[in-house]
Amino acid sequence: MLSSKLPQIALAVGVGVATGIYVFQPLIKQYEEETNGTWLRPGDEVRIKKSDQINSPNK
């Protein structure tokens, strides 16, 4: 029973993946260009630095 539905499942997965790539690829490329390839938003460096100071043990 499962073997008869396997091609349909594979087709559905393929269409889902292809649609996701088609829809989200332009948004991901735009975000990459806006963050200069670092994937950090403006202000993230400050937030990360504060988090590191809080989580680092006292020296």
pLDDT of residue 44: 82
pTM of the prediction?
Answer: 0.55
Look at residue 59 and tell me whether its pLDDT is greater than 60.
no
Q: Where are the alpha helices (DSSP H) in the chain?
A: 2-34, 44-55
Give 16-52 pLDDT, tens digit per residue.
999 999 999 999 999 888 888 777 877 888 888 888 8
**Number of domains the chain is built from:** 1
In one-letter notation, the amino acid at residue 17 is V
47 or 10, which is more confident: 10
Domain extent at residue 6: 2-55
At position 10, the amino acid (one-letter code) is: A
